């Protein structure tokens, strides 16, 4: 029976002693001083969430996020995995998802993860351009991401890729190339987080000295829309677009500048719909009603009604209505 609702229980695991200093990351908040949470705390997190999630007709996974899971010592990885596995054995959860760096994937790691119910491995690719990776202090090239992705898929895991448009040296065409490569690799999932400047990071220092200029919110929306369009067309499921401070940033982090907006995802999907609706030929003597999949109506009308206003400049009246037979961004229009 198909599950109608999916839940991911997030367990944040700050990793100890990463030897890299990515420019967008505040190393002081993720050093060995911030030790990974004890198993008891993980147990508490899982029990708390599971008590609020209806089990019937739902799919539940445990997600280990917030760091490089596979950089943790094997014994700690196994403790966490065993803890989550216990709930899967009892039928209270269905699988495990985790995030890690591309250069922290090897066959020994994958063999360990296959012993448990790990379904999905997400790689913090950030970019697939080697110069962007170098300027960002990632400590690896794009070849690591490609190789790790191939290994993950070959070993039967679901592959997720995380991207961060707008890092130092980034360009719109690099983001487009990354999305195309993600499709060709065979990624199943993607997250897109435009780079923002966090206080206490090397990127903040570069911004304050004029060495780094973040992309504008407008550019971030357009670049992300470009990537989303390619990824969706290639069958990649986009899990998340844009940062949420409470979930994606280290506790206490402050955004100095950059393309952060709480409705960023809505703005991106507004742009994707704008591109589709922009091709409709206007006629001020007529009204138009556009039929769309129910869940897409708000995006089609646009953030702050932007797309509706665009069409109102062309037509006497504009309306949106649902058509349950349509999928994705399919639409049809009636005129009066």
Residue 187 has pLDDT above 90, yes or no: yes
Residue 169 has pLDDT above 60, yes or no: yes
Return left, alpha or beta for 58; rule: phi > 0 is left, psi -120 to 50 is alpha, else beta: beta
Helices 74-89 + 107-114 axis angle, to 10 = 30
Burial group, residue 278, by CB count within 10 angstroms (0-12, 13-18, 19+): exposed
Q: From CA 140, how far away is CA 311, in angstroms rounded?
A: 47
Residue 238 has pLDDT above 70, yes or no: yes
Beta bridge partners of 287: 317
Q: From CA 176, how far away is CA 161, in angstroms rounded?
A: 14
Residue with tokens 């349509």: 326
Residue 94 has pLDDT above 80, yes or no: yes
Q: From CA 299, how far away is CA 308, in angstroms rounded?
A: 10
Weakest mean pLDDT among 20-29, 164-173, 280-289: 20-29
Q: For residue 30, what pLDDT band results from cuts at 50, 70 and 90?
A: very low
May I ask the CATH class of domain 5-261?
alpha beta
Residues 6+ apart with CB under 8 A from 240: 191, 192, 193, 265
CA 102, 108, 109, 114 dihedral sign is: positive
Q: What local confidence, expressed as pLDDT, does residue 36 receive?
A: 72
Task: Write down the H helix ranges in the chain.
Answer: 39-50, 74-89, 107-114, 130-135, 142-154, 172-185, 202-208, 217-233, 245-248, 264-277, 297-301, 306-312
Angle at Cα 310 formed by Cα 305 and Cα 316, nearest 5°? Answer: 105
Residue with tokens 């147990």: 43
Q: From CA 326, how far away is CA 292, in angstroms rounded?
A: 6
Q: What local confidence, expressed as pLDDT, does residue 17 receive?
A: 44
Weakest mean pLDDT among 45-49, 65-69, 161-165, 249-253: 249-253
* Mean local confidence (pLDDT), 163-185: 98
* pLDDT tens digits, 242-272: 987 555 554 456 889 999 999 999 999 999 9
Q: For residue 209, what pLDDT band results from cuts at 50, 70 and 90?
A: very high
* pLDDT tens digits, 120-162: 999 999 999 999 999 999 999 999 999 999 999 999 999 999 9
Share of the chain above pLDDT 70, in %: 91
Residue with tokens 């589709």: 276
Say if CB 291 and CB 268 are below 8 A apart: no
Name the residue among 139, 138, 260 with its Cα closest to residue 199.
260
Residue 237, SS3? strand
Domain with CATH 3.20.20.70 in the chain: 5-261
């Amino acid at each position: 029976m198909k599950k109608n609702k999916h839940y991911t229980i997030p367990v944040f695991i700050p990793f100890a002693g990463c030897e890299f200093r990515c420019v967008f990351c505040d190393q002081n908040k993720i050093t060995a001083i911030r030790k990974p949470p004890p198993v008891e705390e993980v147990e508490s997190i899982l029990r708390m969430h599971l008590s609020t999630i209806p089990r019937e007709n739902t799919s539940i996974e445990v997600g280990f996020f917030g760091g490089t899971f596979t950089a943790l010592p094997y014994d700690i990885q196994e403790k966490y995995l065993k803890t989550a596995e216990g709930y899967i054995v009892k039928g209270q959860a269905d699988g495990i998802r985790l995030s890690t760096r591309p250069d922290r994937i090897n066959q020994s790691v994958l063999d360990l993860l296959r012993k448990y119910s790990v379904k999905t491995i997400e790689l913090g690719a950030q970019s697939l351009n080697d110069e962007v990776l170098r300027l960002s202090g990632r400590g690896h090239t794009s070849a690591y991401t490609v190789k790790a992705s191939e290994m993950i898929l070959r070993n039967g895991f679901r592959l997720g890729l995380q991207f961060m448009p707008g890092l130092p040296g980034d360009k719109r065409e690099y983001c487009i190339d990354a999305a195309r490569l993600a499709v060709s690799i065979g990624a199943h999932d993607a997250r897109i987080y435009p780079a923002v400047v966090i206080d206490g990071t090397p990127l903040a220092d570069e911004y304050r000295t004029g060495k780094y200029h973040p992309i504008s919110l407008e550019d971030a929306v357009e670049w992300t829309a470009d990537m989303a369009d390619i990824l969706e067309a290639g069958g990649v499921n986009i899990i998340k677009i844009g940062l949420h401070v409470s979930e994606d940033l280290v506790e206490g982090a402050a955004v100095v500048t950059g393309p952060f907006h709480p409705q960023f995802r809505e703005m991106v999907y507004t742009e994707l719909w704008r591109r589709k609706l922009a091709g409709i030929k206007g006629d001020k003597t007529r009204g138009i009603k556009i039929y769309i999949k129910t869940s897409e109506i708000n995006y089609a009308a646009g953030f702050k009604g932007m797309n509706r206003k665009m069409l109102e400049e062309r037509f006497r009246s504009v309306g949106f209505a649902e058509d349950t037979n349509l999928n994705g961004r399919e639409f049809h229009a009636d005129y009066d």
